[in-house]
Structure 1
Amino acid sequence: MLSDLAWLPPAPASIRDDFKALKAAATTPDAAFSDALTRVSLHRLDEGQLAKLAGIVGRVAGDLSPFSRVKLGLLGDGTLSLLASAIVGSGVRHGLLIDVVEGGYGSAVQDAADPSSALRAAGLDMALLALDHRLAGLDRAMPTAADAAAQVDAAFGRIRMIVDGMRADLKGPVLVQTLSTPVEPLFGSFDRVEPGSVFAMVEALNRRLAEWAREGGIVLVDTARLAASVGHERWDDPRHWHASKLGFSPDMIPVYADVVARTIGAIRGKAKKALVLDLDNTLWGGIIGDDGLDGIALGQGNATGEAFLAIQRLALELRARGVVLAVCSKNEDDAARLPFREHPDMLLREEHIAVFQANWTDKASNLKAIAETLNIGVDALVFLDDNPAERAQVRRELPLVGVPELPADPALYPRMLAAAGYFDTVALSEEDRLRADQYQANAQRAQMQAGASDMDSYLASLAMTCTIRPVDSISRPRVAQLINKSNQFNLTTRRYTEAEVAAAEADPQRHAVQIRLVDRFGDNGIISVLIADKGDADWTIDTWLMSCRVLGRRVQEAALAHLVAAAGTEGAERLIGHFVPSPKNRMVEDHYAKLGFTADGDLPDGGTRWVLDLADYTPPVLPMQVDDLFRTEERQAA
């Protein structure tokens, strides 16, 4: 099931004609081409079909909305050439146009160490290190625990050397695979106990890699977990290892490539944010409007009722890690809410649901309304529905919505949803865990705004407090996440790693701040980041981004007031802003003009330079309390 990408619908009979049409249109792509490309990618494609899709991607020049371009270096152990096209083809279904630059066979160390190598000179966004235990020095059992530890240290040291060499020329992170363990045991069940077994050494190395990823040094691609999920015997085909040094069976290439692509997508902010749930025969068995509260299948004591509890349990676990929950059901509203309110075995309750859409409108229209209420794009939604006709309608109308295929047996719904990887992440902060509550509060704000007589009274009623403070070690992971995910309200779309954010914090010639917003409905968390380069007369704004969920709240005016005060205190006379257009940030092309800046010519990268004379600036009266802790801490330090 998992190895076959069963959460995707089968490729249609027209797939060859679809590829031909896409190939013909690829040199002059438009919105229709983009939709068609997405629709084709959202099928169960085999290795050959992924290669054809990769060929089409290679014909597309320039940017193509809503995709993000990624230049990926591929280096590691064994044969890598069979993997590149599958990664490119799989990237399409995750909103990516990937260009893969391959390293030489067996030359990962050389490629990483040589500054003039093709990989290091390619201007890569990120790199993937694909490893195999048989070429990592972990292919033979060691006689003692000390010998085993030395082998693991050597293998880890080699990986570290490669990562450190590549990092100097990357715009983004290095992705490192975990190593799958061998099928063949040496000691039987004692393999896990005996430190000198190959199994134990590979596990020890994987633990080292996981700890490194936890510290932010790398991004993990958990191939070992994937191999265990599909079955090591299916994963590891010795014939292909001996013949071509391919680290796993060619049959596993599509699922491997999908995991790699979804990880890159998570880095680029493509992971989904909200799970939208159908109700009848999805969260419980039966139809609440016909069967009544006592007639639906839900709860302990029978297999079907427990299966639906498992679905709800997964939804709650996703919510606990920050995924927003919503309901989209063809139902009478009162009947739909009844199990949430009164069924004793129901795990999900109304307070867990950010938006509750139960009516007789078509599902695609309701999904658009849910996205609008949550202030997110439809591409951030996953829709879980047992009805194949409803799934087909949503896929046809809204191809950017994640819609997993579901089998007949509800016991398999959680596995299918989890296997699809819609909500995969490469980091998890405390702010991430609170995101579901934040979006739920946002929906309440939207309802309140709809009932307000004017915007000023609405903003005043929110009782907002805006807090501005330096970026620090605690906020750094979230700041880096925002820098790498924010696309729409992002003036330059420059990307920085956690290490680069840390360098900006420590650099006295850079001004790096985080901005939080709290209101009567709760804490929105860190919603804006500013990084400015200090000059004697001019401060140049390198990065200015803001979460779209606080648009219209005038936070940008508070941010500018802070920058003007900070720059003026250090003797600067002007602020310089750069707007660099991207496929997604058109909404802020007038940002500086609205704040009183004057256009001052074009930039080499196609952007515009803007200037604000501090002497001409008048601080605004804002509908919020502004706590500028940066200025407070700066005065205390002085």
Structure 2
Amino acid sequence: MSEVPVDPRAAALAVLAKADSTMMQLTQAVTALEKEEQPRVVKIGVSSSATVDLLNIYLRKHGLLNGARIDLVAGNYDDPIGDIDLFTQAGVEQIVLLPFFDNLLPSFEAQLVNLDPSIIDAKEAELRQRYRMVFDKARAVPAIYLGTFHRMGSPADVAGQDAVALVLARFNAALRDEAAAYANIRVIDTEDIVRTVGQGAAFDTRFYFRSKAPYSGAFMNELARRIAAAARGFGAHFYKVLALDCDNTLWGGVIGEDLLNGIKLGPYDYPGNIFWRMQQEFAALERQGILLALVTKNNPADIEEVLRKHPDMVLKESQIIVKKVNWEDKPSNLRALAQELNVGLDSIVFVDDSSFECEAVRQQLPMVKTVQVPGTLSDYPRVVAEIKSLFLAGGIAADSKGKTEQYRQRAGAEELKAQFATQEEYLASLELKVELTRNARASAARISELSQKSNQFNLTTTRYSVADIEQMMSGDTHAVYSLVVSDKFGSAGLTGVAVMRYEGKAAIVENFLMSCRVIGRGIETGIWPRIVADAMQRGCTELRAEYIPSAKNAQVADFYGSLGMPAHEETSEGVRRYTIAAADFAAPPNPWIEMTYVE
């Protein structure tokens, strides 16, 4: 019997995924994979007041696990202000900042209890001023990952321990306070990493005292993993939907066999208290704007009974956007779920207790992130914490909250649609209102988020950071238009963005994108007369636009053609370029939309 040939790439990725791989194995696997072409290359600068050379291999590891090659630029020791200049010249896209508490003064923890309070006050003031300068200089960098301070050791006496804890909390509060003013900063809780890894396993004091290199490989691996999560897999994912099984996932037991009073769910007794706590976590995700769905093999009446009648059921029917409760296979139900919500399968995280169901989804829908409820139930909270990280670590804009209600409004509109003979009659009945705003600075975070997550109706798939948006809004060469859509069912929120660039007499559509939730109502064409009128007031006589194809935006390939713009060029890669005299532009009329313009 002949041996099955080993796939070198799969073997190398398996080494990276293993928790017990040696440093030599990691290095060899990373080196081998980096010789291959990766979908994305991300340049990251690392600035620290400790020696963190070991972070290099672990960031590269977690980059490769997410399909990205990480190119690292190392800063100088304890020089974050100078490092920003270095990183800017190198063209980094992301920065890791790792201040180290014990290095604020020589052996700061050990001598802290003996220091005059005025010295500590001065050190805090210096810390604030220093990092305020760092954050301001790095304002244009798309993403910064800031590590918090943590304790290196534990003083033996209680008084000393209290003194360190108080100052540590105070300095961390100062860091967070300064960072809060900058939308591009994500805080990484290194104290929690120490707790997760364990105090003894997180540090190697031998190398700390010899070369100011305090961290172990275990600490660096977990730090790199959390940075990758905060970076959404370095651009690999943007999850929107959490699809949940029910039996032994939301409660203990099987509702069809154990019945309503027999399933395990409640705040006090094991194992029901674990499931009750997990439902609290899922409900919190829904309040943050994550869509919750049920995908379960069960009788619909049984699930409805639990949702409506179980006294300890945390998740309510109003928080579940879609229920796929039937006896169909899970991959088919997930496909139907994605189609119903008009999201990509790669936007879904699926949770199930069954090895069979999880493996079926992994095999048939590898783009879905599949998570199995652990066999050891006490590990479930840790797994759910990792699930929350997938959704929230990269940050979430305020406008994303209430997303379940917005999708429910869309469903109501679709139900109404069936009652009208023509599309125009239906659209007129919706009482559509659009508020078009130019350079809405207060919405920069939501505009950036929409650019990161919109794929289908996205003409160039250009991604913008908050700093990018703020810079374009502040300058004379760009204008950023955003639109807020509402109808008789409620507000859909900020759901569209048009980025204009002005070069001489030409007004260029740098990108136009919309949430799929509001497509097909004429909004996508109705805003352009106002935008073109603004361009003409600036003295522009020509309107240009282009469509750049991606794996997901084929549906908008001829969008500019539908606006009456002739295509003058199409490249072999499928890029289409359009040009029209501004005076000749005439988008289709949409009398059913009430348009308000805010400058």
**The TM-score by the shorter chain falls in which range?**
0.7 to 0.9
Cα shift readout 1:529-565 (whole Å, capped 9, x = no counterpart): 1222345632222332222332333322022222123
Question: Residues 471 and 110 of structure 1: is their aligned pair in 2 closer, same or farther, counting only changes over 3 Å?
Answer: closer
Which residue is equivalent to 1:54?
A: 30
2:434 to 442, 447, 466: 466
Give yes or no for the alignment of 1:332 onto 2:299. yes
Measure, in 1, the Cα distance between the counterparts of 2:560 and 2:337: 31
Measure, in 2, the Cα distance between the counterparts of 1:269 and 1:146: 47
Say whether the 8 Å CA contact 1:209–1:220 is kept in structure 2. no
Measure, in 2, the Cα distance between the counterparts of 1:623 and 1:410: 58
Question: Residues 398 and 529 of structure 1: is their aligned pair in 2 closer, same or farther, counting only changes over 3 Å?
Answer: same
Say whether the 8 Å CA contact 1:235–1:252 is kept in structure 2. yes
Cα shift readout 1:438-463 (whole Å, capped 9, x = no counterpart): 23434555566688766545544543
1:215 to 181, 192, 195: 181
Question: Residues 177 and 325 of structure 1: is their aligned pair in 2 closer, same or farther, counting only changes over 3 Å?
Answer: same
Measure, in 2, the Cα distance between the counterparts of 1:466 and 1:492: 23
Question: Residues 50 and 424 of structure 1: is their aligned pair in 2 closer, same or farther, counting only changes over 3 Å?
Answer: farther
Which residue is equivalent to 1:75?
A: 47
Which residue is equivalent to 1:310?
A: 277
Question: Residues 127 and 300 of structure 1: is their aligned pair in 2 closer, same or farther, counting only changes over 3 Å?
Answer: closer
Measure, in 1, the Cα distance between the counterparts of 2:430 and 2:120: 61
Cα shift readout 1:451-479 (whole Å, capped 9, x = no counterpart): 87665455445432222123334222212
Which residue is equivalent to 1:135?
A: 103
Give yes or no for the alignment of 1:598 onto 2:570. no
Which residue is equivalent to 1:180?
A: 150
Question: Residues 485 and 290 of structure 1: is their aligned pair in 2 closer, same or farther, counting only changes over 3 Å?
Answer: closer
Give yes or no for the alignment of 1:559 onto 2:527. yes
Measured after TM superposition, the shift of residue 488 of structure 1 is: 4.0
Measured after TM superposition, the shift of residue 339 of structure 1 is: 0.6
Q: TM-score, normalised by structure 2?
A: 0.87
Which amino acid is the alignment partner of residue 541 of structure 1? V
Greater mean alpha carbon deviation, residues 317-326 or residues 472-481? 472-481
Question: Residues 379 and 447 of structure 1: is their aligned pair in 2 closer, same or farther, counting only changes over 3 Å?
Answer: farther
1:507 to 475, 487, 507: 475
Measured after TM superposition, the shift of residue 318 of structure 1 is: 1.0
Say whether the 8 Å CA contact 1:79–1:245 is kept in structure 2. yes
Which residue is equivalent to 1:297?
A: 264
1:394 to 361, 364, 373: 361
Secondary structure at 1:629 match in 2: strand
Matches within 5 A, 1:487-636: 487-534=455-502, 537-582=505-550, 584-601=552-569, 608-622=576-590, 624-630=592-598, 634=599
Give yes or no for the alignment of 1:102 onto 2:73. yes
Measure, in 2, the Cα distance between the counterparts of 1:282 and 1:307: 10
Measure, in 1, the Cα distance between the counterparts of 2:120 and 2:6: 55
Say whether the 8 Å CA contact 1:515–1:528 is kept in structure 2. yes
Greater mean alpha carbon deviation, residues 204-213 or residues 316-325? 204-213
Greater mean alpha carbon deviation, residues 484-493 or residues 376-385? 484-493
Measure, in 2, the Cα distance between the counterparts of 1:335 and 1:454: 39
Question: Residues 571 and 413 of structure 1: is their aligned pair in 2 closer, same or farther, counting only changes over 3 Å?
Answer: same
Say whether the 8 Å CA contact 1:532–1:540 is kept in structure 2. yes
Give yes or no for the alignment of 1:88 onto 2:64. no
Say whether the 8 Å CA contact 2:124–2:174 is kept in structure 1. no
Say whether the 8 Å CA contact 1:152–1:201 is kept in structure 2. no
Which residue is equivalent to 1:204?
A: 170
Measure, in 1, the Cα distance between the counterparts of 2:16 and 2:366: 10
Which residue is equivalent to 2:118?
A: 146
Question: Residues 344 and 526 of structure 1: is their aligned pair in 2 closer, same or farther, counting only changes over 3 Å?
Answer: same
Which amino acid is the alignment partner of residue 481 of structure 2? V
Measure, in 2, the Cα distance between the counterparts of 1:492 and 1:509: 19
Greater mean alpha carbon deviation, residues 396-405 or residues 602-611? 602-611
Which amino acid is the alignment partner of residue 85 of structure 1? I
Question: Residues 69 and 376 of structure 1: is their aligned pair in 2 closer, same or farther, counting only changes over 3 Å?
Answer: farther
Which amino acid is the alignment partner of residue 459 of structure 2? L
Secondary structure at 2:121 match in 1: helix
Alignment gaps of 5+ in structure 1: 1-13, 24-36
1:126 to 85, 91, 94: 94
Secondary structure at 2:208 match in 1: helix
Secondary structure at 2:334 match in 1: helix
Question: Residues 207 and 138 of structure 1: is their aligned pair in 2 closer, same or farther, counting only changes over 3 Å?
Answer: farther
1:366 to 333, 340, 344: 333
Secondary structure at 2:391 match in 1: coil
Question: Residues 110 and 153 of structure 1: is their aligned pair in 2 closer, same or farther, counting only changes over 3 Å?
Answer: closer
Q: How many equivalent pairs are there?
A: 590
Measured after TM superposition, the shift of residue 417 of structure 1 is: 1.1
1:264 to 225, 231, 249: 231
Secondary structure at 1:423 match in 2: helix
Measure, in 2, the Cα distance between the counterparts of 1:233 and 1:247: 12
Say whether the 8 Å CA contact 1:373–1:443 is kept in structure 2. no
1:419 to 386, 406, 410: 386
Which residue is equivalent to 2:286?
A: 319
Measured after TM superposition, the shift of residue 50 of structure 1 is: 5.1
Say whether the 8 Å CA contact 1:374–1:440 is kept in structure 2. no
Measured after TM superposition, the shift of residue 359 of structure 1 is: 1.0
Which amino acid is the alignment partner of residue 76 of structure 1? S
Cα shift readout 1:573-601 (whole Å, capped 9, x = no counterpart): 22122334555545434332232222344
Cα shift readout 1:94-141 (whole Å, capped 9, x = no counterpart): x4513222315627448626x5x5x44332212222332233437323
Matches within 5 A, 1:450-465: 455-456=423-424, 458-465=426-433
Which amino acid is the alignment partner of residue 59 of structure 2? I
Measure, in 2, the Cα distance between the counterparts of 1:15 and 1:238: 46
Say whether the 8 Å CA contact 1:576–1:611 is kept in structure 2. yes
Which amino acid is the alignment partner of residue 236 of structure 1? F
Secondary structure at 1:215 match in 2: coil
Secondary structure at 1:476 match in 2: helix
Question: Residues 78 and 182 of structure 1: is their aligned pair in 2 closer, same or farther, counting only changes over 3 Å?
Answer: closer
1:477 to 445, 457, 463: 445
Measure, in 2, the Cα distance between the counterparts of 1:56 and 1:376: 35
Cα shift readout 1:153-189 (whole Å, capped 9, x = no counterpart): 3344444555555556x4x233222122233226526
Say whether the 8 Å CA contact 1:402–1:422 is kept in structure 2. no
Measure, in 2, the Cα distance between the counterparts of 1:583 and 1:55: 29
Say whether the 8 Å CA contact 1:51–1:86 is kept in structure 2. no
Measured after TM superposition, the shift of residue 229 of structure 1 is: 3.7
Which amino acid is the alignment partner of residue 439 of structure 1? Y
Say whether the 8 Å CA contact 1:103–1:111 is kept in structure 2. no
